[in-house]
Structure 1
Amino acid sequence: MMPDLGKYTETVLSSYAVSLVLLAAIILLSLRRARRVKKELQDVESKVKTNG
């Protein structure tokens, strides 16, 4: 079902692979940062509750 890419097959497929790897990296970094920010927010909120 893949179209015939001729002499550009290697270039096109490697571009797709690089794009998928970069997208996966962006997603993983975003999730990791979200967890870190959530933990920091919980720490700040707990400090406010104990001091407030």
Structure 2
Amino acid sequence: MPDFEPQVLVEHIDNFGKGLSEWEITFVADMMDNPPIVYSEKQITIIERIYDEKC
């Protein structure tokens, strides 16, 4: 897993992610539309998991 900021990973998932579930699409879309000022540990864990599995 590259050491990037969560928002960079979200943008990469949005552009290059393949086979995302409906929930993952909604999660990534929400992160794109309303990026948090500070990501929670849970959000970061989910983003990293999606990135590792789907990109």
Flag whether TM exceeds 0.5 (same fold): no
Which protein is richer in helix relative to its size?
1
Structure with the greater alpha carbon radius of gyration: 1
**TM-score, normalised via structure 1 length:** 0.29
TM-score (norm. length: structure 2): 0.28
